[in-house]
Amino acid sequence: MAQLVTLRGDSSVLTAAMAEFWGSVIVERELGATLRNSRDKMWVVAFFDGSTIGFSGIVSGSHFCSAYVLPAFRQRGVYGEMIQERLAVTSGTVTTIASEASRTALVRSGFAQTGKRGRFFKMELVR
């Protein structure tokens, strides 16, 4: 359904695609963290009909972060596709801090829980 595009943090396409999300209190409340960008961060952005419907990041080459899908597009596998796309552009062991809602798709992709941090779960996939 979604079209996935991998973009670097310093891409002008990324800046435009994420314009409505930077600084969004609603997004940050669900993420449980501030949405940050940096030049060396990579993003997989999900588009539908030319609009951004989801995004997810990779920092330090191997840590998955900042995953979000607009509520109207959830439960259709968009996040699962973004996990697969990020796995395709990384190698070796990857880590992430998962919310309850994101755990199902991560486990399906082979991640295992390694700990807890508040309401979030430390997850890892060893390859």
Ligand X SMILES: CC(C)(COP(=O)(O)OP(=O)(O)OC[C@H]1O[C@@H](n2cnc3c(N)ncnc32)[C@H](O)[C@@H]1OP(=O)(O)O)[C@@H](O)C(=O)NCCC(=O)NCCS
Name the site residues for ligand X (rule: CB under 6 A). 30-31, 67-69, 74-80, 98-102, 104-105
∠ CA 47-51-52 to the nearest 5 degrees? 55
Helix runs in 12-127, H state only: 12-17, 25-31, 78-88, 100-108
Question: Is the distance from CB of 78 to CB of 69 less than 8 angstroms?
Answer: yes
Cβ closest to ligand X, residue 30 vs residue 124: 30
Cβ closest to ligand X, residue 10 vs residue 117: 117
Cβ closest to ligand X, residue 49 vs residue 100: 100
For residue 32, the minimal CB distance to ligand X (Å) is 7
For residue 67, the minimal CB distance to ligand X (Å) is 4
For residue 15, the minimal CB distance to ligand X (Å) is 21
SS3 30: helix
Cβ closest to ligand X, residue 7 vs residue 21: 21
For residue 113, the minimal CB distance to ligand X (Å) is 13
What spatial distance separates the first Cα and last Cα of the chain, rounded to whole Å?
28
